[in-house]
Amino acid sequence: MKKTINFVLLAASMTLGLSTAANANELDKLLQQVKNDRISQAKLDKKREAEFTSARADKQALLNKAKAELKAQQERNKRLTKEYADNEITLAQKEVELDTAQGTLGEMFGVSRAAAATAYGQIVTSIVSAEYPGRGEKLNEIANSKKIPELEQLEELWIALQTEMTQSGQVSQFNVEVTKLDGSKSTEQVTRIGTFNLVSANGFLNYNDEVGQVQPLAKQPAGYISDTASKFFGETSGYHPVYIDPSRGAILALETRKKTLMEFYHEGKEVGYGITVLLIIGMLIALERMIVLGAVSAKMKAQEKNLDQPNENNPLGRLLKVYHDNKGADSETLELKLDEAILRETPKVDRGINLIKMFAAIAPLMGLLGTVIGMIMTFQTITLFGTGDPKIMAGNISLALVTTALGLIAALPLILVHSIVAGRSKSVLHKLDEQSAGLIAAIAEKESN
Amino acid sequence: MLFLIELIESVRSFVATGGNVLYFVAFALLLMWILMIERYWFLSANYPQLRDDIIARWEAREDTTSWYAHRIRDTWISEATELLERNMITIKTLVAMCPLIGLLGTVTGMISVFETMAQQGTGNPRLMAAGISMATIPTMAGMVAALSGVFFSSRLDAKVKLAKAKLVDSLPHH
């Protein structure tokens, strides 16, 4: 086809290029060329045909060879299948033989494997492993191996159980690497109490079995508990009380999550601080009043014994001075003058006492304020998150309750102190108000006689 | 002896279920009763002598009608009243404080209930029961303490008032 196109193109070019010069000579040449080409084409075809025929014979040989191979493989397959079936039978026979040979020992191995698995769980989590590390791996080997345990392994199991048993009744001290909370490690001396607690100079320690590390607790439990631990660590002989955790760490973990008093106090937030300020101010006022009133009544007592020489440093002395200044006056004028003087003294004695009473009344009210704020915040939380998780609400509820408690805690001593201070000031006022006139009357009577 | 140990043990278990606030209630109750018993003692043992003494002194006076006599009489009455009324404010305050301390126990108990709820959830009511008993027992104890004080302190108050009125009446101007 290509050739035909070539010819056509050639013819066309010739027609274009030599359109005018086209002659018979040129056309003859072309015809001759076409004829020649046809002869060579035929030769080529023949040659290719010959090649194909010879190749066909080769392919037939290859096919025969492949067929022979397939047959061989199929035969092998048959043979192997039979062999496999034979082996299966032999295996079953051998297993039966093995069982008969093991006899009752087989059960024992099962038991030992189960015992190793149980002991593994116990021993890996036990704090004794902090002192004797690496006991778990051998037990794990026994528990997980498909083979019959060897005598050495059985001995390992026995020793591990025996060690755990013996150590659970002992208190021992040893050096161990302690991984601090910030990741740093240091070797510390540690006392182990049975299988219950690890104790160091800083309190209780925790054994993390997942990484096999001894770690300090995230937070020590309340002071009175952790103090016994560090004291116990310091002792060398004798009997000493110490808090131990029979649940092997679970109670301690709960204990560390308990809030301390200080943390509770700070839950009260601003309202709580306000109440504290009230309490402190009220107590300071009460203290100042007590000191001042104590000094005043002491001075008044001294003055009572020495009525002739009025001393200006106490209210009674000042009243006596009024009398001494107005000796000549009649009783009504004297009473008026005394009343005036008493009126002048009263505020000095009374000062601050009502303030304490007011503080004692305000403190529970502030607690109530905190309660209301806390409840508002709780309901806001409920609006946002729903009531599904009590833990979310608990924070605000504790604000509500802690402020109430703080209000009461502040109010109680303030009330008590107020009653004491009020009693004292009342007795001083009585002395001035009701008894000073009598003292003066007694003096006047004595002088007139 | 065994009886005492059992008594102490029962008190201990009561305090353990009620929480430490009970100590405050006990302290307030103890203080209140010491003061009240002291008052009763004073009224029945010391006061009659004091009263007779004042009456005798007054009877011995020649002048009982002048301004001076009035002032001296007032003073004696005031001194006696002060002795009679000493600590009465504190007793009344303590009576009023007892329910407040109980209330404090309620609040701290509720705090511990919510603390448990925050840590363990609401799944186990047994865990919360400890906090609830810490909330209710001090309240009850505070109430009982206050009630025990209310009756006797008001009786005492009446007695003091009566004694004072009688004293005033037995000092006539003659």
Task: Give the per-residue pLDDT at A175.
Answer: 83
Contact list in A for residue B72 (CB cut-off 8 A) is: 438, 441-442, 445
From the list A412, A427, A434, the residue facing B97 with the nearest CB is: A412
Q: Report, as ranges of residue numbers, the positions in chain B whose pLDDT lies below 50.
A: none
SS3 labels along A90-154 = HHHHHHHHHHHHHCCHHHHHHHHHHHHHHHHHHHHHCCHHHHCCCHHHHHHHHHHCCCCCCHHHH
- Cα-to-chain-centroid distance, residue A41: 94
Residue of B nearest to A411 (CA): B100
Decide: A346 and A432 in contact? Cβ < 8 Å.
yes
- The 10 Å Cβ neighbour count of residue B115 is 20
ipTM over 0.85: no
Q: How many CB pairs under 8 A join A and B?
A: 104
Q: Report, as ranges of residue numbers, the positions in chain A whose pLDDT lies below 70.
A: 1-22, 390, 449
Residue type, A225: I
* DSSP-derived 3-state class of residue B64: coil
Contact list in B for residue A423 (CB cut-off 8 A) is: 86-87, 89-90
| Angstrom distance (rounded) from CA A443 to CA A306 | 11
The vertex-B91 CA angle with B88 and B95, nearest 5°, equals 140
Task: Give the per-residue pLDDT at B38.
Answer: 94
From the list B75, B76, B90, the residue facing A420 with the nearest CB is: B90
* DSSP-derived 3-state class of residue A217: coil
Residue A398: name the closest of B5, B114, B159, B48 by CA: B114
* DSSP-derived 3-state class of residue A361: helix
Q: What is the pTM of this model?
A: 0.66
Contact list in A for residue B82 (CB cut-off 8 A) is: 427, 430
Check A405 against B111: CB less than 8 A apart. Answer: yes
Distance separating the N- and C-terminal Cα atoms of chain B: 63
Which structure tokens are listed for A174?
């040893």
Which structure tokens are listed for A128?
């004794």
Task: Give the per-residue pLDDT at A285.
Answer: 93
Bridge partner residues of A216 (DSSP): A205
* DSSP-derived 3-state class of residue B19: coil
The crossing angle, in degrees rounded to 10, of helices A390-430 and A331-350 is 160
- Helix/strand/coil percentages in chain B, nearest 5: 90, 0, 10
Which structure tokens are listed for B68?
């001076």
Decide: A198 and A214 in contact? Cβ < 8 Å.
yes
Which tens digits make up the pLDDT trace of B124-165? 788 788 888 888 999 999 999 999 999 999 999 999 999 999
Residue B21: name the closest of B95, B90, B110 by CA: B110
| Angstrom distance (rounded) from CA B114 to CA B127 | 11
Contacting residues for A272 by C-beta, under 8 A, at least 6 apart: A265, A266, A370, A402, A403, A406
Check A435 against B104: CB less than 8 A apart. Answer: no
Task: Give the per-residue pLDDT at A76.
Answer: 94
Task: Give the per-residue pLDDT at A10.
Answer: 54
* DSSP-derived 3-state class of residue A174: strand
| Angstrom distance (rounded) from CA A435 to CA B73 | 9
Task: Give the per-residue pLDDT at A244.
Answer: 81
Which structure tokens are listed for B130?
């400890």
Task: Classify the C-alpha dihedral A212-A213-A214-A220 as positive or negative.
Answer: negative
Distance separating the N- and C-terminal Cα atoms of chain A: 171
